[in-house]
Structure 1
Amino acid sequence: MENLENIRASLVQKIFSTNNLNLLEAINKIFTSTEEEKKYILSENQKKLLLVAEEQIKYGEVVSDEELRKLDEEWMS
């Protein structure tokens, strides 16, 4: 596997040698989208629900995926 510097150099060379505007725009979009950090703004109610969920996890008040599927099947019957 190539190391970071080799990959970076190869990409730079390819970017400089292309005249394909669509390709360059796509590459630019990739870089731009990875630079933007998406922030989620939670309501006070959502924050409270997350705190409750953390407490439930802390005290083992959880149901496994298998148990939940079984309960769903029983409920749907």
Structure 2
Amino acid sequence: MGALEIKLEIFDKLKNIEDISLLEKIRSILKNADTSKVYQLEQYEIDMLQESEEDLKYGRVISQEDLDKEDLEWLSK
């Protein structure tokens, strides 16, 4: 589930809350949330993402089903 879907789900639930105490707690949590911070990726994380994109581009992928089979084979050894 992506950020947009989570936000929409939260918004949908907020519309129906009438409990003032709960709404104040939620407001307090949101006030304390630092939304100005942007996570900076380390170089090794950027490298891993680039490798992953190359794997996708060149078809170096495995299905979840095949991966599960390989896991079971490895665990049974």
Q: TM-score, normalised by structure 2?
A: 0.58
- Relative contact order: is structure 1 or structure 2 higher (C-alpha 8 Å, sep ≥ 6)? 1
Letter of the structure 1 residue corresponding to residue 52 of structure 2: A
Q: State percent identity of aligned pairs.
A: 38
> Which 4+ runs in 1 deviate beyond 6 A?
none
Give the Cα separation in 1 of the matches to 2:63 and 2:32. 35
CA shift at 1:47, angstroms? 0.5
CA shift at 1:38, angstroms? 5.8
Distance 1:33 1:56, change over 3 A: farther
Matched length? 60
Which structure has the greater CA radius of gyration?
1
Q: How does 1:1-77 map to 2 (within 5 A)?
A: 20=20, 22-29=21-28, 31-32=30-31, 36=35, 39-77=38-76
- CA-based RMSD of the aligned residues comes to 2.9
Unpaired runs of 5+ residues, structure 1, are 1-10
Distance 1:33 1:66, change over 3 A: farther
* Secondary structure class of the residue paired with 1:49: helix
